A and B are shown apart, each in its own frame.
Chain A
């Protein structure tokens, strides 16, 4: 078994601090011991491994960058390495962690009242409470400004109506961060499971992220007290800032998935003897493997520098767009390439590339499609919005 840094063609390991390395190796071990032995079966049977949640919480994988509330207070590079390792296991497992940390704990921490923070963050760090993030609606996720979910003020309460779609962890969540249009623009609400009028339904027939729960949420005259609104979240910028957090993690995750596929392809080429010699002896195969390493190395460097910028407080969301685009694209391309290299065996879920390949079809779409990120970068360099 190769160690957790393979491939590390540019000795990027030496650019990491001891803390960062130790965090990565701890999570790598968890992924090797706990995730990899069960994940193919989960994917095949469309089952999210809920049994891993308490262990992930015990490890401190939820809200790991927060300083308080029982969290580890890691820097963003260490956080990225966690995401890389989780996605080396499976995008579904990484998605769960991304949502819990980046899309639920982050907005509560950033936009929540003290009371909301005290109530939710320690419970969420321990995963005694699970969260989901409801922004996308059935009529077009790329343009959330046109959302139809409405919150209306009635006396001191809010009344919520509408629906959200493609919501990760939707039906297993104890609380949903729901973004709704109000008279004064977009606002965020903490909607608890069991609130009258709030229902959910899982989305079946997925051929991607099968080891992850994806649901629809329905709000039929849900009454919410003012205290469940995130007080300082005003406008679309608030949910978009959450997405910046989660996309940052995905930029690392794409590399993790690529590393898993590369390792399996390399191992296969070492062992597969065709026309008298192992596949690694073939020029064409070497070019394909070398090209994987080229792409992974650029992705690793991109993610690391992005993390350093984030830790210095200098990361711009357009840089996150470029990294999400680049690293998910390289993950998807490498997964497809590895699938092909493995021949017929590559179509079996017993090999990881086909699973990663199918998963990454979701990852390239959610948290802003590849096209949207290209247009974000395009707008940044030209000054013209072309959406």
Chain B
């Protein structure tokens, strides 16, 4: 079984994001980037599948992003991927997830051997459009299950059963491989890449592909653009209600009815 995991280099959500004053985007100076936490689930799942099964022959991590995105590939390699592909070209840079997926699709189609399983996060924490997985599945003509919370693959490696949460119920989806799955939080707990593995990851093969190798990227340009970015409105001040419990409940109801007008 060959597994491809798509990983994105994204701003760390623990760090406050600043919007550029001209509204053209976020201020990236000094910003810390990490492997997208949802994509990281995909890498962990791939490595766990290899640990559990005898038939995982190769795990490849793929990212699309600037030169620095190689750091994210290195995390995936340190976690257990065997090799990595880095799609790096200014032409590839875009805020349109459809375009992003189309560039990846072109690179995947050019691989000599096909993949049995393609994994990515259910969404990326930067653009949060949730389109990468479904779009990539569409471009690659693969079956797709989104936001998977549990996965079983038959011993012969041909079929899978995936579970996903839907409003008020759990959906069980069965299908044949190859397929593309996007991963929901909770399916696996990502390991920390160990320091010896981080060092060893530098020696694993990493292929860089540009628009020279992927000429298709020039033709199917991004269809959506970000018009402008504004910071979220400041949090309104907190109102504290003080007093005895009964008095506080009374005041809360009065406030919700008369001032907030939500009752």
Contacts and interface: CB of A to CB of B under 8 A. Distances in A.
A2 B195 CA distance: 23
Contact of A3 (B14, B75, B199, B202): B14
A71 B202 CA distance: 15
Interface string B170-206: 0000000000000000000001111111110010000
A200 B180 CA distance: 58
B195 A18 contact: no
B192 A19 contact: no
Contacts of B194: 58-60, 72
Contacts of A18: 71
Contacts of A30: 192
Of the listed residues B30, B71, B192, B193, the one surrounded by the most CB atoms of chain A closer than 10 A to its CB is B192
B148 to A, nearest CB: 24
A3 B71 contact: no
Contacts of A25: 32, 34
A74 B199 contact: yes
B74 interface: yes
Interface string A174-217: 00000000000000000000000000000000000000000000
Given A19-B198, A19-B199, A73-B199, A26 B15 contact: no
A61 interface: yes
B58 interface: no
Interface string A1-24: 111110010010100001100110
B106 interface: no
Contacts of A74: 195, 199
A365 B30 CA distance: 37
B195 A3 contact: no
A26 B12 contact: no
Nearest to B194: A60
Contacts of A72: 194-196, 198-199
Contacts of A11: 30
A60 B199 CA distance: 11
A89 interface: no
Nearest to B74: A22
Interface string B17-33: 00000000000001010
Chain A interface residue bracket vs B:
20 to 34
B192 A3 contact: no
Contacts of B15: 2-3
Contact of A58 (B14, B32, B192, B199): B192
Nearest to B201: A22
Interface in A70-91: 70-74, 78, 82
Given A3-B32, A5-B32, A61 B195 contact: yes
A71 B196 contact: yes
Contact of B195 (A5, A8, A55, A64): A64
A127 to B, nearest CB: 13
A29 interface: yes
Interface of B: 12, 14-15, 30, 32, 34, 71, 74-75, 191-199, 202
21 contacts: A2-B14, A2-B15, A3-B12, A3-B15, A3-B32, A5-B32, A8-B30, A11-B30, A22-B75, A23-B198, A26-B195, A26-B198, A59-B195, A60-B194, A60-B195, A60-B197, A61-B195, A64-B195, A72-B196, A72-B199, A74-B195
